[in-house]
Chain A
Amino acid sequence: MVGQYIVNGIMMGGLYACLAVGFSLVWGVLNVINMLHGSMVILGAYACLFGVQRLGLPIYVVAPLACGALFVFGYAVQRGLINRVVSQPILITLTLTFGLELIVNNLILHYFTATPRSLGINLGTVELLGMRIPVARIVGMLIAAMLTLLLYWLLRHSKVGRAIVAVRMDRHAAALMGIRIPQIYALTFGIGAFMAGAAGVAMALIYPVTPMMSGVFLGKAFVICVLGGLGSVPGAIIGGLVLGIVEGMGTLALGPQWATSVGFLLMMAVIILLPSGLAGKKGYE
């Protein structure tokens, strides 16, 4: 039974990591608290639902298309709107993304209504040592892990990735080295949106999706980001797993109504004791 509880926590943590990695990247590199992130996750989920249910396409075709569409959306939003105010105090970009969140969320609500929708793909469960693991969650977690590792590799070993890291460390020095900052910002936001789209696809496999879930997803991403450390890809994985397991243990110890509160308490403790997060670097608090 204890094993089942731990597996439940890890499965949830994997999804949480997928949810948070794009949010963390944007916050860390652009210093933008992207309030639009939850709605981009929902947009990814609805794009997936639309492709599978309305257009009749297989999910393995729809998933990359949905993520690609979100990348284009994110790139355009950053290039056309956020870049204009990105050097302003953080409150300005926060307000802008909050306004965009309201518009996008209400458009989704208008076109797709508030009725919960599901992909309706039942992948079954696997039994291992007496523990039951839903295949949909394994798939969701694998998508999260693969994309997160890919992003980690991209940031470390590609030219664009190294430019993003350089901008994150010191944008003025990066500009002096010839890096085009507005383009890197737009690419970073686009990658953040791509990851949100991937999280949306994973969520559509597991959850009945409604536009109102955006706030919940944004709240989770925020907590995970603070737990793991801003802008840190491994931090998002660690933060996600820690939150998944801690919420699960909180459910057992105090009851399910306290699970969310336990996550926020942990976040407060990390802010006080480890301002850089569990895997963050000092200076990026």
Chain B
Amino acid sequence: MRKFNTGLLAISLLASMAASAEAQETLRFGAPVARTGPLADAGIKSKQGYDMCVTAVNQKGGVDVGGKKMKLELVEYDYQSETNRAVQIVQRLINVDKVPFLLAPYGSGDTKATAGVAERYGVPMVAAAAATPSVFDQKFKNLFGILFPNAMITDAEVAYYKKTMPDVKRVSVLALNSLFPKAIAAELVTSAKREGFEILSDSLYSPDTTDFSNILTQIKSQKPDWIYATGYTQDLILIRRQMADLGVEAKLVTMTAGPSYPEFAENVKGLAESVTTNSWWHQNADYQDAFIFGSSQKYNEAFNATFKRNATYLEAAATAACQTLVMAIEEAKTTKADAVRDVLRTKTFNTFYGPIRFSDVGQNDFNAALVMQIQDGKLLVLAPDALKQADLRPGVPPKK
């Protein structure tokens, strides 16, 4: 009996040592992912971006922490697009799964809600899809955002259209009543007013809206030169269709960020023609990346090989969020939060996504805003000049 007990003890010790060795060799990032609910489409895209990072890092041999290679693992749970659930999941990831680092949920609103939890526990969190400055104005020490502020996008758009279409003066704005669309619409209004544009209307719609015909009829009566709409992709698809149904036309129609995703053009088909948009990233921006992917183009090729379509800024930002954390850990040579946080605060990370440099509030302040337009079914870069693929085609629908 004594021998049996000693044997059992030895087995238990060996098992716990093996478990501990296993734990030491795996580095886990925690992520609430919107797999279901209204944000599921964007949430699943973010997950694809994370997977790109995890696979590439592990193919490289894992995360090099002071000479020791650790396998990277993503611990993720579906938060069903519900903010409260995202907060609960972040608490679980920290307290039950004991993850040392976090990737934020999709969108400015959910990032802002969960960042408070990460801050309370001192766990660094990198956000891939939060561009609204009010997410970062709490000056949390543990929150870092990959997307540069909305204003950089709207300033670039307004400056470009003012230069290329000087006859465009009157703007109607329509935005979803949610943190990001509302914020970027407000920035657009600010940028446009500063540059001398006249704002004819600045309307919000609720997330349950099933019909835009009356607000579009109202916009039509205002005869705007420029219509700016922002919201979920399915809303923008419906808005573009109802614009055609009601004969709403303008010299310029901009939608954020639906046309950046291929499903916008797939759903509206020819009506996508000449719709302009903006983006934080595009594969044609040939940023070099010595760490894993090589360059923006090569990242897109790898993404295409895996998911059979081109990457958008959303998947790219998710990959970059994960990659930046890995680079910071390797630079810090430890997984201790304080050291990694210091590296994140001070270093500029050169990635396929472009240079990432966190400001004193934690948001990337490297401006690489892109103005884009769908032409002949393809999404092409109009500005900046260094990446330009086409000149602006005015008129929606295009005049034949």
| A interface list, Cβ under 8 A from B | 1, 4-5, 8-9, 11-12, 105-106, 109, 113-118, 120, 122, 125, 132, 134, 137, 207-208, 210-213, 216, 219-220, 244, 247-248, 251-252, 255-261
Of the candidates B43, B206, B210, B247, the one whose C-beta lies within 8 Å of that of A257 is B206
Write the chain B residue with the least CB distance to A2.
B217
Nearest Cβ on chain A to B275's Cβ, whole angstroms: 15
Evaluate contact between A109 and B36: CB separation under 8 angstroms: yes
Q: Is B20 an interface residue (CB 8 A)?
A: no
Evaluate contact between B204 and A257: CB separation under 8 angstroms: yes
Chain B residues with Cβ below 8 Å from A115 are 41, 263
Q: Is B37 an interface residue (CB 8 A)?
A: yes
Q: Is B238 an interface residue (CB 8 A)?
A: yes
Q: Is B205 an interface residue (CB 8 A)?
A: yes
Evaluate contact between A256 and B234: CB separation under 8 angstroms: no
Distance of A261 Cα from B174 Cα, bound (Å): 18
Q: Is B376 an interface residue (CB 8 A)?
A: no
Evaluate contact between A257 and B38: CB separation under 8 angstroms: no
Evaluate contact between A113 and B215: CB separation under 8 angstroms: no
Distance of A1 Cα from B220 Cα, bound (Å): 10
Chain B residues with Cβ below 8 Å from A260 are 206, 208-209
Evaluate contact between A114 and B204: CB separation under 8 angstroms: no
Chain B residues with Cβ below 8 Å from A248 are 211, 213-214
Distance of A105 Cα from B206 Cα, bound (Å): 23
Evaluate contact between B41 and A116: CB separation under 8 angstroms: yes
Distance of A11 Cα from B210 Cα, bound (Å): 12
Nearest Cβ on chain A to B263's Cβ, whole angstroms: 5
Evaluate contact between A114 and B208: CB separation under 8 angstroms: no
Evaluate contact between A132 and B247: CB separation under 8 angstroms: yes
Contact (A259, B209) CB under 8 Å given A115-B41, A120-B269, A208-B267: yes
Q: A interface, by DSSP: helix, strand, loop or mixed?
A: helix
Q: Is B306 an interface residue (CB 8 A)?
A: no
Evaluate contact between A207 and B38: CB separation under 8 angstroms: no
Of the candidates A11, A105, A261, the one whose C-beta lies within 8 Å of that of B213 is A11
Q: Is B146 an interface residue (CB 8 A)?
A: no
Distance of A216 Cα from B213 Cα, bound (Å): 18
Distance of A114 Cα from B201 Cα, bound (Å): 32
Chain B residues with Cβ below 8 Å from A105 are 36
Chain A residues with Cβ below 8 Å from B43 are 114
5 A-B pairs besides A116-B263, A211-B40, A216-B210 with CB distance below 8 A are: A8-B217, A105-B36, A118-B266, A248-B214, A257-B205
Nearest Cβ on chain A to B107's Cβ, whole angstroms: 14
The 7 closest A-B pairs by CB, nearest first: A114-B40, A256-B205, A8-B213, A134-B245, A114-B41, A208-B237, A257-B204
Nearest Cβ on chain A to B217's Cβ, whole angstroms: 5
Evaluate contact between A212 and B205: CB separation under 8 angstroms: no
Contact (A118, B208) CB under 8 Å given A251-B214, A252-B218: no
Evaluate contact between A116 and B233: CB separation under 8 angstroms: yes
Chain A residues with Cβ below 8 Å from B211 are 8, 12, 244, 247-248
Evaluate contact between B237 and A256: CB separation under 8 angstroms: no
Ordered by A's residue number, 5 sampled pairs between the chains whose C-beta atoms are within 8 Å are A4-B217, A208-B238, A220-B210, A256-B212, A259-B205
Of the candidates B41, B206, B242, the one whose C-beta lies within 8 Å of that of A210 is B41
Q: Mark B239-258, 1 if CB is under 8 A from A, else 0.
A: 00010111100000000000
Write the chain A residue with the least CB distance to B81.
A212
Chain B residues with Cβ below 8 Å from A132 are 245-247
Chain B residues with Cβ below 8 Å from A211 are 40
Evaluate contact between B44 and A113: CB separation under 8 angstroms: yes
Write the chain A residue with the least CB distance to B202.
A255
Q: Is B59 an interface residue (CB 8 A)?
A: no
Q: Is B203 an interface residue (CB 8 A)?
A: yes
Chain B residues with Cβ below 8 Å from A251 are 214-215, 218
Q: Is B221 an interface residue (CB 8 A)?
A: yes
Distance of A233 Cα from B293 Cα, bound (Å): 61
Nearest Cβ on chain B to A82's Cβ, whole angstroms: 24
Nearest Cβ on chain A to B65's Cβ, whole angstroms: 36
Contact (A106, B208) CB under 8 Å given A132-B247, A208-B234, A255-B203: no
Write the chain B residue with the least CB distance to A127.
B247
Evaluate contact between B204 and A256: CB separation under 8 angstroms: yes
Q: Is B375 an interface residue (CB 8 A)?
A: no
Evaluate contact between A212 and B38: CB separation under 8 angstroms: yes
Distance of A107 Cα from B188 Cα, bound (Å): 39
